[in-house]
Structure 1
């Protein structure tokens, strides 16, 4: 089967629509309610390359601008947008560990050093018009968005600790690359994060003791039922072949600082952020 083409350019168009929607209906609301002082989505090209989609400025009397600013990286599950407002949102969210570009392995946004200046993720689940193109959205196509704000460093550390029992990013990246290669070689697309990296790598090497003690097999495929999970998109499905850590939505809501349901008609606060 031929490799599917990249959706990168279409994703960028839809990301701009998501940002415009957030400006109009969420960030403006946060200013009006006195939760933040102001925001700036007119970030420079350099800032955008560093993952900074919007800068919000908290209310902190006497503090200079650098102390008051929070750099937001907006992440939207656009490919899984719902077309019916009565539909439940996607029950998970994916954190990118690595991907392929022009035959070269690249670091995903979870640990990539070039995104070190971002402070928080705004994770977004979308509902869009039935006739909207998910790869070419405009702001007016978006009917509703559920948004949670989660701290970047805390979230990353929790995932890495769960994956291997320590917070060392470089070791995590090295072992994740080994795992990716072995998953691809075996044609396996899902593994449970609960089984830490060393046992998983050894199991994929077909070491009987590890297979018997740590994992269940169904023929040559590992059975992954519980989240978080390692999920590798194989090349016949997507050109970039992302390796993601996929987390249950409810776990992310529990971790979130704030949680909003946003429509053009208003904002419903599900979990509030302090004004202080």
Structure 2
């Protein structure tokens, strides 16, 4: 079974069902905010780097809004990759309207063409991306290939520990004890769901089946290291960036992390 076929169909279905007005704020936020759509911790980190004349890319870029926001840092070009064709079509249309030098490509990340090898100074991965890949070593192999020598990878993601807890609406979630551990940190079998992409649609719905995977922190670190990249920064935080674990925020539980890595 190629799980990415199912995930592609589920993501495209979710975009077609997105709630009214979702994505309509891109123009106004780009005009009025310094780094719209970028979480504060990542935005603060990025201000430490020079973006002038830099080529940047985002893997799993969704509708492109984060990458378009990152262009405000002065990058010369932006390239976004995502498996959902309708999201990519939206992103290209929006970038054209805004006259941004961004290009969005519909592809499985693992199938990004070799013509993009050694192309990018910076690559970004934000919340929710890593869970869609069963094998992170293969994923980071593509990241390393696309980065220029000395290029940087930025990851701002949910902490792997979050996979141990239940989420509201799941059978094993205990509303009176949200910190209860209900899943193994080392879970290998996929999460199999068909209740929709709620954050985009604003509600659950019976959707096409999609698959996601848990990864340990060592899975992430080893996937990076084994592909010729050095980890230059790792910071962990006890606050939720997913809106799924708000009850656990600021209670000493690792819920999110920021990682910076450099290609050798």
- What TM-score, normalized to structure 2? 0.28
Q: Which has the higher strand share?
A: 1
Which protein has greater RCO, CA pairs closer than 8 Å, 6+ apart? 1
Larger Rg computed on CA atoms: 1
